[in-house]
Structure 1
């Protein structure tokens, strides 16, 4: 790689998206590194704007409440996402990831968006003892209204969290982890509507464990 390309990528990575987050935080992916692919946006302006909204409206409020957030993965270029899809590395098709992990493409409706897969270390000890991811999900639903969707994974209670420009899009909360309260993996929030089990429980009561964790 030429010195000019190195300088360009270095300057690009220094782009500040919010008070605590820089573009560099969101560019590293093992798939890209292993295959020697530069995971950088084609449409830099769009990627920065979508990423800035994700950081300012979703990640900063989370970090303010919970302390440092660990970024597992976030932005994917079309090339990297396509490769991940072909390798079966938990990457959806490019088109379904526009305005999600692919920050630098608008979706078919013309909206921008951005997704990051994150871990909240402060919550992790509780999750590993209880298997309960739902308390965190409901806390975010109640306290970070700018999120659009969440999808939880078994390892480290990592989860995808998204910001989406279309404010009419209803919230969803999904998981690959069994819900310890119901024993299934169904969505606990679909099209903005809670599953039947949670409709019987006041919202604040659903995230009581989070209140205890944050108080200590």
Structure 2
């Protein structure tokens, strides 16, 4: 599949359905791209679609089915957009670090495919005063879904949620309390963490 070379071709690409409720166009908006006039179009559409489909089917669809409508903050980044964001300190990692992450159409150094989206779960944010912090959602995802990594942020408890062929199963946060919540090898990594998300709706598979 070739990179789109016209507006019509990009329009058609955006109509690609990744899962029941998500289309590729949902993930192509970028404030960096819009403000600075940089193309945020996949160089390898087939790889972007393959990785994005896994992200949507295995992580975003179950989340939306369980908690209701998700808010997508950001998703796919082209190499040009990500490199510009990194160079200008706009909260983007290097392209090498973002491969199989926000750069869906670039395999990582190990040859693995992956995709990340930054999302907000309004159901959780709206109940923040009665929940056990952002960790409640983190532990629910950890116990329930095949995520690769999670990273939480202070505003709206937004999180980067990643699907990856070789999942690290690592959770970190810039929201208080900052730092690493869990990773493989830590004592809190295995077992049930249901005490942290009491009151969540029953999971519908």
TM-score w.r.t. structure 1 length? 0.86
Change (3 A) 1:106 1:210: same
User: Is residue 2:175 matched to residue 1:177?
Assistant: yes
Write the deviation string for residues 87-136 of structure 1: whole angstroms up to 9, x where unpaired: 21110000000000000000000000000000011111222676810001
1:147 corresponds to: 147
**Do the aligned residues in 2 keep the contact of 1:150 with 1:174 (CA within 8 Å)?**
yes
User: Is residue 2:87 matched to residue 1:91?
Assistant: no
| TM-superposed deviation, 1:16 | 0.4
User: Is residue 2:197 matched to residue 1:191?
Assistant: no
Change (3 A) 1:95 1:70: same
SS at match of 2:76: coil
How do 1:195-210 and structure 2 match up within 5 A? 195=188, 202-210=192-200
User: What 5-or-longer segments of structure 2 have no aligned partner?
Assistant: none
| TM-superposed deviation, 1:210 | 2.8
User: What 5-or-longer segments of structure 1 have no aligned partner?
Assistant: 180-184
Write the deviation string for residues 33-54 of structure 1: whole angstroms up to 9, x where unpaired: 0111220100111000000000
RMSD: 2.1
Write the deviation string for residues 38-87 of structure 1: whole angstroms up to 9, x where unpaired: 20100111000000000001100101100111100010000000111112
Change (3 A) 1:202 1:69: same
Change (3 A) 1:155 1:109: same
C-alpha separation in 1, matches of 2:85 and 2:116: 16
Change (3 A) 1:192 1:74: farther
Change (3 A) 1:204 1:99: same
1:58 corresponds to: 59
2:32 corresponds to: 31
TM-score w.r.t. structure 2 length? 0.90
| TM-superposed deviation, 1:209 | 4.5
Write the deviation string for residues 144-181 of structure 1: whole angstroms up to 9, x where unpaired: 1x111100000111000000012xx43101000113xx
- More displaced 10-residue stretch of structure 1: 202-211 or 103-112: 202-211
SS at match of 2:73: strand
C-alpha separation in 1, matches of 2:129 and 2:90: 24
**Do the aligned residues in 1 keep the contact of 2:75 with 2:118 (CA within 8 Å)?**
yes
